[in-house]
Amino acid sequence: GERTVLRKFEHIEHCLKRNVQAHVSNGFEDVHLIHMSLPEIDKEEIDLSVEFLGRKFDYPIMITGMTGGTRKGEIAWKINRTLAQAAQELNIPFGVGSQRAMIEKPETWESYYVRDVAPDVFLVGNLGAPQFGKNARKRYGVKEVLYAIEKIEADAIAIHMNPLQESVQPEGDTTFAGVLEALAEIKSSIDYPVIAKETGAGVSREVAVKLEAIGIDAIDISGLGGTSWSGVEYYRAKDEIGKRLALRFWDWGIKTAISLAEVRYWTNLPIIASGGIRDGITMAKALAMGATLVGIALPVLKPAAKGDVKGVKKIILGYAEELRNAMFLVGAKSVVELRKVPLVITGFTREWLEQRINLSGFLSSRF
């Protein structure tokens, strides 16, 4: 318990103070929207709203889970409330970070509770896949999932898949045997939507197909090209071997643009595209490729740590303005229309996708 909380503290510190991003891109430089000289729409009439898991949101942008696990008044409490309030005011979904700390140290529950400042926000709880492995030290099940959701009055739960981070961390939980079966059991026992979520290494078509088969409601692909969890663990490593291991795997994973195409092509699940999304043009590309929402984490951490609700909103509204502009320049009045605009995929991303999907089939219908 104590160690889980301390670890969370260190993660936030490193993410605030050091470069923890991948050294490689997320692949969207290979995805091209095609400029339209006659958009045949007015920029004014563009509608950015989307539907996701039965709710309507004003922008197709989600703040994905980062933290929790401190006492009331301390850093994680402050970050979650700030992000939740911004999400409430923008009417976009928001996720808290791993609630494991709250299960191990129940007195930290208030650092995840945001309903007093965000009564209507679509709130997503968060637990980690390795805790559901059959060899986990204390295996979680339906009981822990319901506790995590209901104690903070969440609308859905995300189960994060983070084998990369756990594998390069000295005290890592690498008990992944039996997770899929546990998730199937949870899906058949609870009424809340379950989102399967990566944490920066991307979801492959093989994993996505399995998740869809057990009835998972949505996937947050969280691909390579943004925050690197091997990068974060590099700074925490205590010895030479640990440092070398984390450095070696810093850029491990499936790039976000590639993961998105694989999951879109092989499943019908709603997708949250995240991992290094840092501007509105990239957001337009991700939505055009078939994501329902894009997700961001690291870009809003700094203002959130200062309790700056306005700062968080400013970043997201800036992205939204760029997204709207890109939509104007391709003649798309809505996110649904954006999915029908032509795209060109070049370079590394094209070479990869030619071996993993029917690329021309994907480009001609992405919905």
Residues 6 or more apart whose Cβ sits within 8 Å of residue 316: 59, 61, 63, 86, 90, 92, 296, 300
Nearer to ligand FNR, 98 or 131 (CB): 98
Figure out which of the listed residues 130, 200, 270, 290 binds ligand FNR, where binding follows CB under 6 A: 200
Residue number of the CB closest to ligand FNR reads 226
Site string for ligand FNR, 111-140 (x = CB under 6 A): ---------------x--------------
d(CA 304, CA 321): 21
CB of 39 to ligand FNR, least distance (A): 29
d(CA 159, CA 165): 15
Q: To which residue do tokens 């979904």 refer?
A: 93
Q: Which of residues 302-361 bind ligand FNR (CB under 6 A)?
A: none
**Residues 154 and 109 sit within 8 Å (Cβ to Cβ):** no
Figure out which of the listed residues 259, 274, 292, 349 binds ligand FNR, where binding follows CB under 6 A: 274
Q: From 356, 360, 158, 363, select the one nearest 266 (Cα to Cα).
A: 356
Under the criterion CB under 6 A, does residue 230 sit at the interface with ligand FNR? no
d(CA 17, CA 355): 39
Under the criterion CB under 6 A, does residue 282 sit at the interface with ligand FNR? no
Site string for ligand FNR, 58-87 (x = CB under 6 A): ------xxxx--------------------
Figure out which of the listed residues 98, 131, 169, 267 binds ligand FNR, where binding follows CB under 6 A: 98
User: Which residues partner with 271 through β-bridges?
Assistant: 219
Distance of CA 204 to the CA centre of its chain: 15
Instruction: Give whole-number Cα distances, 124 to 148, 194, 229, in Å.
Output: 10, 9, 21
User: Which residues partner with 50 through β-bridges?
Assistant: 57
Q: Which stretch binds ligand FNR (CB under 6 A): 144-152, 195-203, 210-218, 260-268?
A: 195-203
Rounded to the nearest 5 degrees, what angle is found at the Cα of 149, between the Cα atoms of 147 and 155? 160
Under the criterion CB under 6 A, does residue 236 sit at the interface with ligand FNR? no
Nearer to ligand FNR, 67 or 88 (CB): 67
CB of 193 to ligand FNR, least distance (A): 15
Sequence letter at residue 69: G
Under the criterion CB under 6 A, does residue 222 sit at the interface with ligand FNR? yes
Nearer to ligand FNR, 167 or 199 (CB): 199
Burial label for 288, CB within 10 Å (0-12, 13-18, 19+), is buried
The alpha carbon torsion through 150, 113, 9, 145 (nearest 10 deg) reads 10
Total binding residues toward ligand FNR, as defined by CB under 6 A: 26
Figure out which of the listed residues 78, 197, 285, 366 binds ligand FNR, where binding follows CB under 6 A: 197
Site string for ligand FNR, 237-266 (x = CB under 6 A): ------------------------------
Q: Which residues bind ligand FNR (CB under 6 A)?
A: 11-12, 15, 64-67, 97-98, 126, 158, 160, 197, 199-200, 222, 226-227, 274-277, 296-298, 301
